[in-house]
Structure 1
Amino acid sequence: MSYLSELRALWGSAPLVSVGVSVLIQDEQGRVLLQQRGDDGLWGVLGGGLEPGETFLEAAHRELREETGLTCPNIAPLPLEEGLVSGPEFYHRYPNGHEIYLVGLRTHGTLPAAALAGAQPDDSGETLALAWFALDDLPPLNSNINRVSMNVLRARVGLPPLPLLPVPDAPPVGNHLLALRRRVGPRPLFAPGANVLVTDEAGQLLLLRHGGAGGWTLPGGSLEPGESLAECARRELFEETGLEADHLEPLRLYAGAKYRFTYPHGDVIDNVSVLYRAHGVTGRLTLPPDEIHGAAWFAPGNLPPEADLSGPLLQAMVAQWRDGEGRSVAAPASS
Structure 2
Amino acid sequence: MVADPSDAGQTGMTLMELRAVWGPSSLLAVAVGALIQDERGRVLLQRRGDDGLWSEPGGALDPGEDFLTGARRELIEETGLVCPDLHLMSLPDALQSGPELFHRYPNGHESYIVGMRAQGTLPASALNHAAPDDSGETLELRWFPLDDLPPLSNNANRLSMNVLRARVGLPPVPLTPWPAPPPLGEHLLKLRRKVGPRPLFSPGANVLVTDEHNRLLLLRHAGTGRWTLPGGGLEPGESFEACARRELLEETGLRAKRLEPLEMFAGPRYRFTYPHGDVVDNVSVLYRAHGVTGTLTPQDSEVLAAGWFGAGALPDGTELNGELIRVNVDLWKTLGP
TM interval, shorter chain, is: over 0.9
Classify 1:65/1:233 alpha carbon distance in 2 versus 1 (closer, same or farther; 3 Å): same
In the alignment, residue 156 of structure 2 is paired with which amino acid?
Answer: I
Is the partner of 2:127 in helix, strand or coil? helix
Distance in structure 2 (CA, Å) of the matches to 1:40 and 1:49: 17
Matching of residues 253-264 of structure 1 within 5 Å: 253-264=264-275
Offset of residue 265 of structure 1: 0.4
Alignment partner for residue 293 of structure 1, among 304, 315, 335?
304
Correspondence 1:191 to 2:206? no
Residue 303 of structure 1: aligned partner:
314
Residue 80 of structure 1: aligned partner:
91
Alignment partner for residue 210 of structure 1, among 203, 221, 224?
221
Runs of at least 4 residues off by over 6 Å:
none
Distance in structure 1 (CA, Å) of the matches to 2:230 and 2:55: 36
Matching of residues 82-231 of structure 1 within 5 Å: 82-231=93-242
Matching of residues 39-50 of structure 1 within 5 Å: 39-50=50-61
Is the partner of 1:259 in helix, strand or coil? strand
Classify 1:2/1:137 alpha carbon distance in 2 versus 1 (closer, same or farther; 3 Å): farther
Is the partner of 1:60 in helix, strand or coil? helix
Contact 2:234–2:243 (8 Å) recurs in 1: yes
Is the partner of 2:269 in helix, strand or coil? helix
Is the partner of 2:261 in helix, strand or coil? strand
For structure 1, the residue ranges without an aligned partner over 5 or more in a row are: 328-335
Distance in structure 1 (CA, Å) of the matches to 2:209 and 2:65: 29
Distance in structure 2 (CA, Å) of the matches to 1:213 and 1:100: 31
Distance in structure 2 (CA, Å) of the matches to 1:162 and 1:271: 32
Contact 1:320–1:326 (8 Å) recurs in 2: no
Aligned pairs, how many?
Answer: 326
Sequence identity percentage = 66
In the alignment, residue 45 of structure 1 is paired with which amino acid?
Answer: E
In the alignment, residue 325 of structure 2 is paired with which amino acid?
Answer: L
TM-score (norm 2): 0.95
Q: Deviations over 1:191-211 (max 9, x none)?
A: 000000000000000000001
For structure 2, the residue ranges without an aligned partner over 5 or more in a row are: 1-11
Classify 1:102/1:213 alpha carbon distance in 2 versus 1 (closer, same or farther; 3 Å): farther
Distance in structure 1 (CA, Å) of the matches to 2:269 and 2:150: 39
Distance in structure 1 (CA, Å) of the matches to 2:312 and 2:295: 25
Alignment partner for residue 68 of structure 1, among 76, 79, 82?
79
Residue 314 of structure 1: aligned partner:
325
Contact 2:13–2:200 (8 Å) recurs in 1: no
Classify 1:7/1:326 alpha carbon distance in 2 versus 1 (closer, same or farther; 3 Å): farther
Offset of residue 81 of structure 1: 1.7
Alignment partner for residue 249 of structure 2, among 214, 238, 245?
238
TM-score (norm 1): 0.96
